[in-house]
A and B are shown apart, each in its own frame.
Chain A
Amino acid sequence: MPDAARYTVTLAACDLAVARGGRVIVDGVNLAIEPGDAVVIRGPNGAGKTTLLRAFAGLLTPAGGEVVVSDDRQRVFCGVLNAGKPTLTVNENLRFWAALYGARVAAARAALGLEPVEHRPMRELSTGYQRRLGLARLVLSGRAIWIVDEPTAGLDAASTTAFERLLAEHRARGGAAIIATHEPLDAPGARTLELQP
C-alpha cells in the first residue's frame, strides 16, 4: 500500500465465542473496528486472549458468532512466536515474507531498526531483536488490521516507544489494531476489552 493511500478496512465481531480444547472460554464478544481504531485486550492468564486473537485473525473457527471483515486479505496476525526461521538471516526472513505479502523489505527493516543485524541468522539475535523482527512483519505486510499478541514482551523501553510510534502512524493512515497485552501500552484513544477468567 503506497504511503498516500488510506486504509478503509473494517472488522466486526458479533456475539463471538471461542473454545480451547472443546471448552468455551470466551463468549458474547461484540466489537466493531473502524479505520484508526485500537483495541487493547486485557485479562489474566488463561482468560482466552490469544485464542480470541486467533479468531479475529481468521486462523481459528469460532465456537459461536462470527467475525466479519470488509476485506479478508487485510488482516495480519503476529503471535508470541516471531514466525521467523532461526537459520535464515534477518534479510532472508524479511525477503521471504515480502514475497508472500507482495511487499518490500526496506521500510519495515528501517522502522524496527534492524539494519545493524540484517546479515545475522535469526538464532544469533537477542530476544529483543527477534521480537523486533517478528513485529517488522506487521509493517512489511502493508495490511490494515494488525492483530498482535504481547507486542512489547522482551522489548526495551526505547523499542517499546518505537512500536508505539509505529502503531500511531499506522492508525493515522487509517489502519487499526487489536492488541493483547499485560504491559502498559501508550495508545491514545484505544478502547479496552477486559476478559474475565
Chain B
Amino acid sequence: MSAFFAIIARDVALAFRAGGGALQAVSFFALTIVLFALAVGPDLALMSDIAAPVLWTSALLATLISLEQVYRPDREDGSLDVLAETSDVLALTAFAKATAHWISTGLLLTAATPILALLFNIEGPALWPLLLSLLIGAPGLSLIGSFAAALTAALPRAGLLIAIIVSPLYAPILIFGAGAASAGAAGDPQYGANLALLGASSLFAAIFSPLASAAALRFNLD
C-alpha cells in the first residue's frame, strides 16, 4: 500500500516541477474562461446562464491537454518497467496514477473555480452546485483520460489522438456535470438526478478505467 501512495506523491510532485502539467492545465483553464467572458460581452443575465457549460467545457479541455503527461514520460525514461516489475496488481498502479492526475489537475481546477466563476457573475449560493459537480465529475475525467494516456503511451505527440479517444467517453460526464451545475444554480429539481448520474459515471470509470489501463500498459511494455 505504501507503493500506492508513493506513486501518488511522486506524480503530484512531478506535476508541480519544471515541465509538469499542473500549472499549464490551470493556466489554460483560466485563459479559456477569460476569453469566453470577453467574447460574450457585458450581458450579465446571459453570462449567468452559460456559466456552467463554459466552466465545465473549459475544465474538460484543460484536463485533456495534461493527459499526455500521465504515462508517456514514464515509458520514455524507463520508469514504466519499474512500475510494472514492482506492481502486484497493475490496475491498482493505474488507479494511483489516475488519482495523482486528479489531484494535480482536477482538484486544482476546482480550487480555481470560485475566482474564475466571478467573471460569469456566479457567486454565493449559485457557486456550490458548480463546485460540487466538479468535485464529483473531475475524478471521472482523470480516470477515463488516463486510460487513453495508457493506450497511447508509446506514441509521440499523442495529444490529438487522446482527444479523439476520450471525447465520446467524456460526453456523459460533461452532460451531467454541466446539467447539475445549471440545474442547481436555477433551483431546478433535476439537480439531484444529474448529480446522481454524474456520480454513477465517475464510479463506473473508477472500476473499468484502471482495468483497461492495466491491459493497455501491459501491451505497451512489449
A interface residues (Cβ-Cβ under 8 A, vs B):
54, 57-61, 75-77, 79, 81-88, 92, 96-97, 99-102, 134, 137
B78 proximity list for chain A (CB < 8 A): 79, 81-83, 134
List, in ascending order, chain A residues with CB within 8 A of B19's CB: 87
Q: Are B77 and A83 in contact (CB under 8 A)?
A: yes
Asked if B6 is at the interface of the complex by the 8 Å CB criterion, the answer is yes
**Nearest Cβ distance between residue A85 and chain B, in whole angstroms?**
6
Partner of B10, one of A76, A96, A101: A96
- Interface check B3, CB cutoff 8 A: yes
Counting chain B residues whose Cβ lies within 8 A of the other chain, the interface size class is 20 to 34
If A59-B221, A60-B221, A99-B2 touch, whether A88 touches B13 (CB-CB below 8 Å) is yes
Q: How far is the CB of A67 from chain B (nearest CB, A)?
A: 13
User: Is A81's CB under 8 angstroms from B84's CB?
Assistant: no
Other-chain residue from A59, A83, A99, A137 in contact with B3 (beta carbon distance below 8 A): A99
Instruction: Give Cα A38 to B70, complex, Å.
Output: 37
Least CB distance, B22 to chain A, in whole angstroms: 13
Residue of B5, B10, B84 near A85 (CB, 8 A) is B10
Contact A88-B77, Cβ < 8 Å, known A60-B221, A100-B3: no
Query: Is A88 within 8 A of B2, CB to CB?
Result: no
Alpha-carbon gap, A112 to B73, bound state (A): 25
* B61-94 near A? 1/0 per residue, CB < 8 Å: 0000000000001001111011111100000000
User: Which B residues form the contact surface with A (CB < 8 A)?
Assistant: 2-3, 5-7, 10, 13-14, 17-20, 73, 76-79, 81-86, 221-222
4 tightest Cβ-Cβ pairs between the two chains A and B: A81-B78, A99-B6, A83-B78, A87-B17
Contact B6 A77 (CB under 8 A): no
Are A100 and B83 neighbours in the complex by a CB distance under 8 Å? yes
Find chain B residues with CB under 8 A from A99 CB: 2-3, 5-6
The CB with the most chain A CB atoms within 10 A, among B2, B14, B78, B84, is that of B78
- B100 → A minimal CB distance (Å): 12
Contact at B221–A85, with CB atoms within 8 Å? no
C-alpha spacing A58/B73, complex, angstroms: 21
A83 and B10 alpha carbons, distance in the complex (Å): 13
Evaluate contact between A57 and B6: CB separation under 8 angstroms. no
Contact A88 B14, beta carbon cutoff 8 Å = yes
Least Cβ–Cβ distance between A93 and chain B, in angstroms: 9
A82 touching B77, Cβ below 8 Å = yes
A-B residue pairs in contact (CB < 8 Å), sample of 13: A57-B85, A59-B221, A59-B222, A77-B85, A83-B77, A84-B79, A85-B73, A87-B19, A92-B10, A92-B13, A97-B82, A99-B2, A102-B3
- Of B3, B83, B85, the contact of A58 (CB 8 Å cutoff): B85
CB closest residue in chain A, given B79 = A83
Check A137 against B222 for contact (C-beta < 8 Å).
no
For A82, A83, A97, A100, the residue with the greatest tally of chain B CB atoms inside 10 Å of its CB is A100
Please indicate the chain B residues that have their CB under 8 angstroms from the CB of A84 in the complex: 77, 79
B85 (CB) vs chain A CBs: closest residue: A77
Q: List 20 additional A-B contacts (Cβ < 8 Å) besides A59-B222, A75-B85.
A: A58-B85, A59-B221, A61-B222, A77-B81, A79-B81, A81-B78, A83-B77, A83-B82, A85-B73, A85-B77, A87-B20, A96-B6, A99-B5, A100-B7, A100-B83, A100-B86, A102-B2, A102-B3, A134-B78, A137-B82
CB nearest to A60 among chain B residues: B222
Chain B residues contacting A100 (CB-CB under 8 Å) are 3, 6-7, 82-83, 86
Nearest Cβ distance between residue B3 and chain A, in whole angstroms?
A: 5
Complex: A32 Cα to B3 Cα, angstroms = 32
Q: Smallest CB–CB gap between B164 and chain A, Å?
A: 25
User: What chain B residues lie within 8 Å of A88 (beta carbons)?
Assistant: 10, 13-14, 17
Which A residues lie within 8 Å of B85 (CB)? 57-59, 75-77
| Smallest beta-carbon distance B84→chain A, Å | 6
